[in-house]
Structure 1
Amino acid sequence: MRVMLTVWPQRCHLFPAVPYAHALQTAGHEVVIACPPGAEDDITAAGLTAVVCGVPETTAQGWARPDLAPNVPEIDRLAAELGVSPADRDSWDVFYQFLLSAAKYHLPPEPSADNVALVEFALAWRPDLVLWDPWFPGGAVAARAAGAAHARVIMGPDYSGWATELFAARGPAAAGNPLADAVRPLAERYGVEVDEELLLGQWTVDPLPPEMRVSTTLTSLPVRWIPYNGGGVKPSWLYGPPERPRIALSLGLSTRTYHQGEWRTPKILEAVADLDVELVATLDANQLVGLPPIPDNVRVVDYVPLSQLLPTCSASINHGSSGTFWASVAANVPQIIADTDESQRLEFTEEGGSVIPERHILSPIAASYIVGRGAGFRLDHQKQSAEEVRALIVSTLEDPAYKAGADALHEEWLDRPSPSDIVPDLEKLTAQHRGIA
């Protein structure tokens, strides 16, 4: 069968999709990854076929576009109307401020050239199955327009599914849902109805365990997250075992892409300076801005694939994002997840800008899961001293209970079906749903 994957064109969204493409391609299916410009080099480097939809000039719309600015009164009004509880307020703010804004970036009020190109490619190529990134819902419109079966591939907690459940509780799921409103101009151009299936897919491929899910009623096809970090030449210092305990510090692709400086790192560097360990910090020039002098036992590398680094480590310090989190689970190492007690709500400045909280949108869920399963610690750089952070690191390395907790998570990860294992399920579901509006 023909399979099209569509993703937000950034590595943090592309890389999780690559193992599904590989599994389907290895099973003999014809596979393409279609998205706006920005990911084609990484797609082809993975041995996959890229379809570039649009040209860079037509997609560089900018985050300053009026329809992308979060409407604070509207955020609060809808939260009150939907009965969002204080415990769920962070999930609501992540949905509205981050996921919705990201989805709308490629779904402007007038359908963009990149999304039109995506749908036109689907109409010409006629895929049997479209697997789409929830942060890039134009893929669902392309699937419906072309008569393909379609499913979401979850890459983190299902905030769009959770929000759609909230709206569905008071009537038709699309009614009043700002995500539905964002999709509607493109959908109407191609005569596609905006309904719950368009927003949620005909099914969902979900690598998260129940404890990490935010949606409560949606069924899913479970799968094992397979870490993919791209290729790279293995450095000689990774050939043999380390001379002393090695710790990986990885703070993700988004931080280095969108921010300058790294607010969690100074305290971590101070904490390890006097320990008999080697900290490998994957920090680029942007993240090194403003940092204190690097201790002698810290090796700074711009980039090394986590699949090469983590198997040599005794612990992983990270920001809780899915890529680093699951790579650490796969490598069977305890984790220290950086998180804070901040609200996920953006702070807006008088100049019209916004201040993003010093926590990742996934870190509360990842930290809670790791701590609850006895596989590591939560690190709050805003409240904990360097001495307290040092104690967390020492405990993680020396107390065998945390390695045992990591072992248990690793075994549960292995018990989940791999992307190759679910190919027969995808084939059957495609046969059931293809051509069904």
Structure 2
Amino acid sequence: MRVIVTTWAWQSHLTPLVQLCWGLRTSGHEVVVASSAELVPAIRATGLTAVAVGEEVDLSAQAGKYFSWLVEQPEPVRWSDIQHWGAGNVATYRVIAQRSVGPLLDFARRWRPDLIVFDPTTYAGPLVAAVLGIPAVRHLWGIDYTYRTREFEPLALRELCAELGLDGVETLGTVTVDPCPASLQFDTGVDTLPIRFAPYNGPAAAADVGLPPPRRPRICVLGSSAVEQLAGRAIPFAEHVLAGLAGLDVEVVALMNPGAAPSFAEGESVTFLGPTPLHLLLADCALVIHQGGGGALMTALFYGLPQLLTPLFTDHVANAEQLAEAGACRWLFGGTLEPDAVRTEVRQLLADAEFRVHAERLRDEMRAQPPVGQVVGALADLAGAR
């Protein structure tokens, strides 16, 4: 079986796909990962074969005003607050599809894949699959926030479908590969293939971390350069979080450069590691603090850890609310983050064992899902049945 896996050029959208890519490869199937040229080095770093398709999209030009507006709001922005924007909610993804679908289709006609796996916001995947008459498989990275935009996608993609000779396209694909525990997932009714999540946060040498066993509860603080990059300005996440942790009887491992919080020097209670694959650290941690991204959320759950989320973006707010409802986290709106509030929440999360119980329940549910080999078999059956 030949499989094209496609995503647009954002690394956090690539990493959730790597497990399935290697599952396919080790089962004897041919796999290429298609994206624009700027993602090719990251694809090659995973050991997979990259194919450059499409033009680079300037995210700042396309969506900078939206993200800048978002981080200036005094309250969390939820889907109900922006739903009325209609197809405008997927305008950036439509532009990405416009610039990549032609080159992806040209390559696919030459290479003749049996199946296309696509990131949920990479519409070129299902469009090309529809033109070729082959199955399209949607692959989630966690909680399915992207399902909410489906109602507007036919309008957003109408002209592109017409150019390709299509009456329309099913942006959910034929089936959805879903690593999220069912009890945490939105109830969408989508046809899914559950898959056992395996954390992958980029290549690294484990020896480079070299932390001793913790003597006190160890808290991992994960900054997000992506949030600042998209927002176009500095976000005082690290400063407020580390100030809130000061004086507590804990060890702090901060995955950010010391310059992100200049008033805190590396010392007995705070260790700055810089960008480090998260999965190398969490086995010895008691709590993870981050800004609400799906990759961090899922990786922390894999280790059964409670989380404190400080979301700014709408999808991150949805992640926080869903995980809090499951009993495995607390959250504070990132736009009004204060050290005292961080300190209060951390104390509660460490003192109340119920948060760990709920996180471990989700971990066990996650690890009970079908292994990647079983999902590969299901995809081979799907491709063979066409």
In the alignment, which residue of structure 1 is the partner of 2:12?
A: 12
In structure 1, which of residues 119, 137, 140 is the aligned counterpart of residue 123 of structure 2?
Answer: 137
In the alignment, which residue of structure 2 is the partner of 1:308?
A: 280
1:283 aligns with 2:259: no
Higher RCO, 1 or 2 (CA under 8 Å, sep at least 6)? 2
Deviation of residue 107 (structure 1)? 3.3
Deviation of residue 314 (structure 1)? 1.2
1:402 aligns with 2:355: yes
Aligned positions, number:
373
State the alpha-carbon separation in 2 of the partners of residues 261 and 43 from structure 1. Answer: 28
1:293 aligns with 2:263: yes
TM (norm. structure 1) is 0.77
Check the 8 A contact 2:294/2:316 in 1, yes or no: no
CA RMSD of aligned residues (A): 2.9
The DSSP-based 3-state class of the residue aligned with 1:228 is coil
Check the 8 A contact 1:316/1:335 in 2, yes or no: yes
Aligned amino acid, residue 154 of structure 1: L
The DSSP-based 3-state class of the residue aligned with 1:409 is helix
State the alpha-carbon separation in 1 of the partners of residues 263 and 34 from structure 2. Answer: 43
Equivalence map 1:17-416=2 (5 Å): 17-54=17-54, 58-60=55-57, 63-64=60-61, 89-90=80-81, 92=83, 96=87, 100-108=90-98, 112=99, 114-164=100-150, 167=151, 177=152, 179-195=153-169, 197=170, 199-214=171-186, 216-235=188-207, 238-252=210-224, 254-258=226-230, 259-284=232-257, 288=260, 291=261, 293-294=263-264, 296=267, 297-339=269-311, 359-382=312-335, 385-416=338-369
Deviation of residue 229 (structure 1)? 0.7
Check the 8 A contact 1:238/1:309 in 2, yes or no: no
TM (norm. structure 2) is 0.86
State the alpha-carbon separation in 1 of the partners of residues 343 and 6 from structure 2. Answer: 42
In structure 2, the CA distance between the partners of 1:414 and 1:214, relative to structure 1 (3 Å rule), is closer
Deviation of residue 24 (structure 1)? 0.8
State the alpha-carbon separation in 2 of the partners of residues 304 and 68 from structure 1. Answer: 27
Check the 8 A contact 1:63/1:105 in 2, yes or no: no
Check the 8 A contact 2:94/2:123 in 1, yes or no: no
Deviation of residue 191 (structure 1)? 2.1
Deviation of residue 26 (structure 1)? 1.0
In structure 2, the CA distance between the partners of 1:94 and 1:314, relative to structure 1 (3 Å rule), is farther
The DSSP-based 3-state class of the residue aligned with 2:243 is helix
Deviation of residue 265 (structure 1)? 2.5
State the alpha-carbon separation in 2 of the partners of residues 316 and 123 from structure 1. Answer: 45
Check the 8 A contact 2:303/2:360 in 1, yes or no: no
Provide structure 1 residue ranges, at least 5 long, that are not aligned to the other structure.
71-85, 168-176, 340-358
Aligned amino acid, residue 205 of structure 2: V
Deviation of residue 23 (structure 1)? 0.8
Aligned amino acid, residue 189 of structure 1: E
State the alpha-carbon separation in 1 of the partners of residues 249 and 51 from structure 2. Answer: 49
In structure 2, the CA distance between the partners of 1:282 and 1:53, relative to structure 1 (3 Å rule), is same
State the alpha-carbon separation in 1 of the partners of residues 237 and 147 from structure 2. Answer: 31
Check the 8 A contact 1:140/1:201 in 2, yes or no: yes
